[in-house]
Structure 1
Amino acid sequence: MANTNVTKGSCLCGVITLSTTSMSHHIGACHCTMCRKWGGGALLVVECESDVKFTGEENIAVYQSSEWAERGFCQRCGSHLFYRLKENNHYYIPVGLFEHSEGLVFDHQVFIDEKPEYYSFANQTKNLTGAELFAQLTSAE
């Protein structure tokens, strides 16, 4: 799953940069109501485990969106920086922040039961409902 190379990215204004050596090559879409409200549509992310380093951290604002997760964004330009699970500190980073997208594959969607009918992706993906996702996460513990 992990890439041994350093992958780099930044927010829109560049005041915050990020790097990781554990970026998954699998892009996922979250259709939950919170993600859609946060970004205006599905959130397209890659998992980066807990190995994410930021510069310009003083410009990061964090919103506690649930008991189990928080969302970070740039205070200057508003770019979404991460969705982070509190328990294991796993980061899910919007794929558009990264400088390069070679070799990435869009292969799964979560909260498919909350996806509105007004859009759909053409890719063939694994689809999980919110209940199926939570069951999978709790069985992994």
Structure 2
Amino acid sequence: MAERTGKCQCGAVKFKAAPKIEQDGMHVDACHCSMCQRRIGGPLMAVNLTAAPVIEDDRQLGVYASSDWAERLFCKNCGSNLFYRLRDGSHHSVHAGALDDLSDANFTMEIFIDEKPDYYAFAGDRKKLTGQQTMEMFAGGQENENG
């Protein structure tokens, strides 16, 4: 299944999105950066997309420029955090919980692991990158960055 549907908690923002699907299914990554922690109260769980999501009606979609290079998108009605994108359009991700179907999702990577607070830890092994490694990966044109 290439395209997925999703929505915010109240349903005011509905969308279609095409997650990047790998051989082992859809990848869900966690970002532990301080911006994600402040914005959502913990780690961000996100899915990278192949392109910008298609929003059914964007009147309730808010955009916050969180840095010189990135924006975070949310529902202005219920406050649900929905998307992260680079301002140059080269990267888009959706918050995993906003997707209607996560049946083939695999938790594959944690980024900004050096900013993760000590009071939680995920079970299992997966790729883990520091903030510097994440920024270097991103600067190199690779993907999988969420924060």
Q: Normalising by the residue count of structure 1, what TM-score does the alignment of the two structures yield?
A: 0.92
Aligned residue for 2:16, secondary structure, equals strand
Aligned 1:35-114 pairs, distance under 5 A: 35-114=36-115
Structure 2 residues without counterparts, runs of 5 or longer: 143-147
**Residue 29 (structure 2) aligns with:** 28
Give the Å deviation of 1:38: 0.5
**Residue 14 (structure 2) aligns with:** 17
Deviations 1:41-84 (A, max 9, x none): 00000001324101120101100000110001100000001111
1:92 partner amino acid: S
Say whether residues 1:116 and 2:117 are aligned partners.
yes
Give the Å deviation of 1:139: 1.6
* 1:106–1:123 contact (8 Å) kept in structure 2: no
Q: Distance in 1 between the 2:126 and 2:76 partners? A: 34
2:76 partner amino acid: Q
Structure 1 residues without counterparts, runs of 5 or longer: none
Divergent runs of 4+, >3 A: none
Q: Percent identity?
A: 36
Q: Distance in 2 between the 1:48 and 1:66 partners? A: 20
* 2:7–2:98 contact (8 Å) kept in structure 1: yes
**Residue 139 (structure 2) aligns with:** 138
Q: Distance in 2 between the 1:93 and 1:102 partners? A: 16
- Where relative contact order (Cα < 8 A, 6+ residues apart) is larger, the structure is 2
